[in-house]
Amino acid sequence: DPLVREFIKMVLSKQGQQIVIKDGYIPLPKKVVEKSLKAIQ
């Protein structure tokens, strides 16, 4: 689903990870972000 893919890309982006931190969660490690982005392409 293209909409889900775009949402995941946003969450994995630098801006998305900043939102995660702001909301009190721990951001994903860089390697996990890179692997996840490759998996959804």
pLDDT in tens, 30-39: 999 999 999 9
pLDDT in tens, 1-40: 999 999 999 999 999 999 999 999 999 999 999 999 999 9
Side-chain-side CA neighbours of 1 within 13 Å: the count stands at: 4
Are 37 and 9 contacting, i.e. CB atoms less than 8 angstroms apart? Answer: yes
- Number of compact structural domains in the chain: 1
Who has greater pLDDT, 41 or 18?
Answer: 18
Regarding pTM above 0.85, the answer is no
| pLDDT at residue 41 tops 90 | no
Whole-angstrom distance, CA of residue 10 vs CA of residue 4: 10
What residue numbers bound the domain in which 14 lies?
2-39
